[in-house]
A = this chain, B = another copy of it.
Amino acid sequence: MSTKQLVDRILSQIPDASFRVVFWDGESRRYGRGAEEFVLRLDDEAVCRGLLGNLSVRFGDAYVAGAVRVEGSLDRFLRLMFLCRPETFRLTLGEKARLAALRWRRVDALEQARRNVAVHYDLGNDFFKLWLDKEMMYSCAYFRTPDEDIDTAQERKLRHLAEKLRLREGVRLLDIGCGWGGFLLHAATRYGVHGLGITLSAEQEAEARARIGAHGLGDRVAVARRDYRELGETAGFDAVVSVGMFEHVGRSNYREYFRSTARLLREGGIGVLHTIGRQTPGPPNAWITKHIFPGAYFPSLAETVGPLTASGLEVTDVEVWRLHYAWTLDRWLEAYEANIDRVRAMYGEPFTRLWRLYLAGCAASFRYGDYCVWQIQFTKGATDAIPPTREYLYPSEP
């Protein structure tokens, strides 16, 4: 049985999808019915053999290398990766044995791709400015309607967080993983807080400092390049927020993370944890952890609130966002594609393809997978600061 026959056997069993495949020998085959959603170009037989062995890791590399190309909707293609259950395919024992054997095959074309993408860890602020919103929030926005623009939705997220934290004039706020300082600036200019932000990135620290200076907030807002475990002496915050950082903490450090948070908060203080998560526990996509977020873990709710409450903190609200992150990533991808020539000039074609796949793949994780955002509000002991109902989070908007 040839590689092509095996690929064909599998593709023809995918339910509810309509697409065309152009094989390395030029042959074109149609799968499914209805309007064609995309064309999949498989230009390299050796790479395809490799893909059959380990789709979840090797597909990303193959896409980056250009050995697999998708014309039309990348989102509809990625949807297949989430909806297909290869274990339900009807395959002969011989076909299964063939697939198992391919699992251990080395694919040289992909080794090359891996080397090409190492560059992305050195990305600078200029790259993110090309496609993030004006406040440079590199986390999920909060949309009132799916068609809202990214600036409006990010601003709503900032206000939503501030209200959950009950920010007021003079409140002492800690932002763990403050990024480029977007939330600190919002909290200081709109609510008059005294803020400290910490980050491990020198680029983010420098940019956040510059923005704080430009707003004349240097006397009330500070940024430090520190780890959350290094703030032992700085306790007594009224509010502690962390947005899009917990993903990098690592499951084995959750206890320590929440114990630190509990220590940093004053009695009666309020915290909000905003993190990507999953409905059911499981390892993240191997390609994403290899190329984009080494060491990342996206926790289930039980994995998060267990150690949180064990640290003496109390859960007071859990908001769950799913499509919000798909919409956020759609906007980012749109802006990214609008600037694709500049990205290509800065980092070359393989990186350009890598980042596109990353943005589109994450959007698909939220749209078709079990990924979501957990926004957990908690307190250290009882407080009267949180109103009886959650109506306070939803003032009438025009």
Residues of A within 8 A of B (CB): 142-146, 279-280, 300-303, 305-306, 309-310, 314-320, 322-324, 370, 372, 382, 388-391, 393-394, 396
Contacts and interface: CB of A to CB of B under 8 A. Distances in A.
Contact of A390 (B280, B314, B393, B396): B393
A398 to B, nearest CB: 13
Contact of A320 (B143, B315, B391): B315
Given A309-B279, A318-B317, A388 B146 contact: yes
Contact of A144 (B143, B146, B388): B388
Q: Which label, helix, strand, loop or mixed, suits the secondary structure of the A interface? A: mixed
Nearest to A280: B309
A309 B371 CA distance: 12
B279 A388 contact: no
A319 B396 CA distance: 21
Contacts of A143: 388-389
Count of this chain's copies in the oligomeric assembly: 2
Given A324-B388, A388-B323, A309 B301 contact: yes
27 contacts: A142-B389, A143-B388, A279-B309, A300-B306, A300-B309, A301-B301, A301-B302, A301-B309, A301-B315, A302-B305, A302-B306, A305-B305, A314-B372, A315-B320, A316-B320, A316-B322, A317-B318, A317-B319, A317-B320, A318-B318, A322-B382, A323-B388, A389-B394, A390-B390, A390-B394, A394-B394, A396-B396
Given A316-B322, A394-B394, 10 more contacts: A142-B389, A143-B389, A145-B388, A301-B302, A302-B303, A314-B370, A316-B320, A317-B318, A318-B318, A318-B320
Nearest to A153: B388
Nearest to A142: B389
A144 B389 contact: yes
Residue among A302, A306, A322 with the highest chain B CB neighbour number at 10 A: A302
List 4 tightest A-B contacts by C-beta distance, closest first.
A318-B318, A302-B306, A302-B302, A391-B394
Nearest to A304: B302
A142 B305 CA distance: 24
A148 to B, nearest CB: 9
A337 B315 CA distance: 33
Contacts of A144: 388-389, 391
A279 B380 CA distance: 12
Contacts of A314: 279, 370, 372
Contacts of A309: 279-280, 300-302
Contacts of A393: 390
Contact of A310 (B280, B318, B372, B389): B280
Contacts of A300: 305-306, 309
